[in-house]
Structure 1
Amino acid sequence: MNSWRRDLAWLAAGLLLLVGWDLTGADLAVARWFGSPSGFALRTVWWTSGLLHGGGRWLAWAMLLVLVVGVWRPLPVFNPLTRRERTGWVLVTLAAVLLVPAIKRVSLTSCPWDLAEFGGLAQYVSHWRWGVGDGGPGHCFPSGHAAGAFAFLSGYFVLRPGHPGLARRWLVGVLLLGSVFGLAQLVRGAHFPSHTFWTAWFCWVICWAGQGLWRATAPDLPR
C-alpha cells in the first residue's frame, strides 16, 4: 500500500474511533471520576496546574524555539535534514499550533469545570451540536494545551521519508507527551478526553497535509 493510502486509512480509522467515542457519551462519565459537585480536587495542585500545565506550556515554546533556531544552526537531530526540510518543519508546526485556537474561538463548548454538575453554571451539550450554547463561557474545544505537544507530530512526517527509525522514536515521544498533557487537563477538569483526542487528530491531519504540500511545492534552500 502506498504511504499516502496508508496514511488516509489511519486518518479514517481515527475519525471513526473519535465519532464512536462521541456517540457513547463517555466524556461526562470519565469527567465524573475526577469531579464532584464541589469541583475538581486536582484543579490547582502543583503537579497538574504548575508543572504539567504551566511548565508544559513553557516546554512547548522552548521546543518551538529549538526548531526555529535549528533552521540555521541545527542540533544533531536536524543534521540529516536539509534547510528546506527544517524550514517546513517549523512552518507546519506553527500551522498546527494555530489551528486549534482558531477552532476554539468559534466553539460554544465549555470546560468540565464550568458545568453545573461540577459547581459551575453550564449544562452538558455535545460539542457537535453546532450553534447550541451550554450556558457557560464556551471556547473550550478542542484542547489547546494538548496541541502544545501534538503540533510536533510534524517531526514524524518530515523525518519519515529518509529516517524512519528516528521518525518512529519522535512519534512515540510526541504521543506520550501529548497524552500526559491531556491527562493533566482531564484530572483538572479543564477538558474532556475527546478534546484531547480531537486535538491529536486535527494536528495529525495538518502535519500530514502540510508536510506533503511543502515537499511538493517549496523551493530548494541551501543547507
Structure 2
Amino acid sequence: MRTKRFIEPVAVTAALVLVTGLLWLTDADRYITSLVPRDHVIAAALPECDRAWPVGNLFPWDTLYKIAPIPAVLLACSAALVLLIGFFKAQFAPWRKKAVFILLLLALGPGLVINVLLKGQLGRPRPRQIVEFGGQYEFTQCWQPGTGGSNSSFPSGHAAIAFFLMAPWFVLHDKKKRWAEAFLMSGLLFGTLVGIARILQGGHFVSDILWAGGLLYLVGSLLGLFLGVYRDTSADH
C-alpha cells in the first residue's frame, strides 16, 4: 500500500510531462484556442477584453466561472468545523488529521503553489493577451517564463479551485471508497467544465487547465504521504 502511494505521484507526473510534450510538439494550445469563436471587431478595438470571446460569457460557462470557488469554500468550512468539534467530541477526534489535510491542501495547492509561486511569477500571457488573438504579447508555452506579468495564464486558478472538489478522495478512499470515487469524479468533472469555460473566455490555454488539476493532485498525494492520512491496509490481510 505504501509503495503504491509513492508510485502514484510518479505516474501522474510522467503522464503530465508526456501530454505536455505532445502539446508543445503539436502547438495544440494555440490551435485549440484558435477554434474558439471570437469577435474580431471588439478584439481589434479593445485588446485583452474578454467580451471579444462571447461564447464564454453565455450560460452555462459564465455561471461556472462565477460558482467555481463555492464547493472549495464549503469543503474548507466543513473541515474547519470538524477540526473544531474534534477537540470536544471523541467520535470526531479521528477526523481531525483529515480535516487538517483538507485545509492545508487548499492553502498549499490552489493557494501557494498555483496562485503565488506559478501564476504570480511565470508571467505566461493569457490567450486574449497574445498577438494572434488581438493582444500585445508573444505566445509562450506552459512552464516558459513570459511577459504577461503577475496573475498570469499558467496555471488556471479558477480550474484549480474547481478541481479542489476532489480533495476528500485522498482521505476517504481507504475506508469509504465509493464516496471517495464520487468526490474524485465530481472534482475532475467540475474542474474540467470550469476549465472549458476559461478557455472559451480567452482566459486560459488547455495546458493551463491540465496542470491546474495535475498539480492539485500531486500536492494532495504528497501531502497525504507527509501527514500520514492514508491507512495502511496491509495489516488487514
Partner residue of 2:106? 93
Q: Check 1:165–1:143 CA distance in 2 against 1; reply closer, same or farther (3 A cut).
A: same
User: Aligned runs of 1:139-158 on 2, under 5 Å?
Assistant: 139-158=152-171
The equivalent position to 1:171 in structure 2, one of 184, 188, 196, is 184
Residues 161-187 of structure 1: CA deviation (Å, up to 9, x unaligned): 222222112111110110011011011
- The reply on whether 1:30 has 2:62 as its aligned counterpart is no
Provide the rounded CA distance (Å) in 1 between the counterparts of 2:183 and 2:94: 14
Does structure 2 retain, via aligned residues, the 8 Å contact 1:21–1:194?
yes
State the shift of 1:42 in Å. 2.2
**Higher Cα radius of gyration:** 2
Does structure 1 retain, via aligned residues, the 8 Å contact 2:126–2:205?
yes
Q: Could you tell which deviates more after superposition, 93-102 or 6-15?
A: 6-15
- The reply on whether 1:10 has 2:17 as its aligned counterpart is no
Partner residue of 1:42? 55
State the shift of 1:154 in Å. 2.9
Provide the rounded CA distance (Å) in 2 between the counterparts of 1:4 and 1:27: 32
Does structure 2 retain, via aligned residues, the 8 Å contact 1:153–1:207?
no
Partner residue of 2:225? 212
User: Structure 2, unaligned stretches of length 5 or more?
Assistant: 44-51, 230-237
Q: Could you tell which deviates more after superposition, 136-145 or 4-13?
A: 4-13
CA RMSD of aligned residues (A): 2.6
Provide the rounded CA distance (Å) in 1 between the counterparts of 2:71 and 2:140: 33
Provide the rounded CA distance (Å) in 2 between the counterparts of 1:10 and 1:106: 24
Does structure 2 retain, via aligned residues, the 8 Å contact 1:108–1:127?
no
- The reply on whether 1:180 has 2:180 as its aligned counterpart is no
| 1:176 aligned partner, one-letter code | L
Q: Check 1:212–1:44 CA distance in 2 against 1; reply closer, same or farther (3 A cut).
A: same
Residues 66-85 of structure 1: CA deviation (Å, up to 9, x unaligned): 332233459xxx97962222
Does structure 1 retain, via aligned residues, the 8 Å contact 2:153–2:205?
no
Does structure 2 retain, via aligned residues, the 8 Å contact 1:149–1:177?
yes
Partner residue of 1:221? none
Q: Could you tell which deviates more after superposition, 83-92 or 142-151?
A: 83-92
Q: Check 1:200–1:113 CA distance in 2 against 1; reply closer, same or farther (3 A cut).
A: same
Q: Percent identity?
A: 22
Q: Check 1:207–1:152 CA distance in 2 against 1; reply closer, same or farther (3 A cut).
A: farther
Provide the rounded CA distance (Å) in 1 between the counterparts of 2:93 and 2:81: 16
User: Structure 1, unaligned stretches of length 5 or more?
Assistant: 217-223
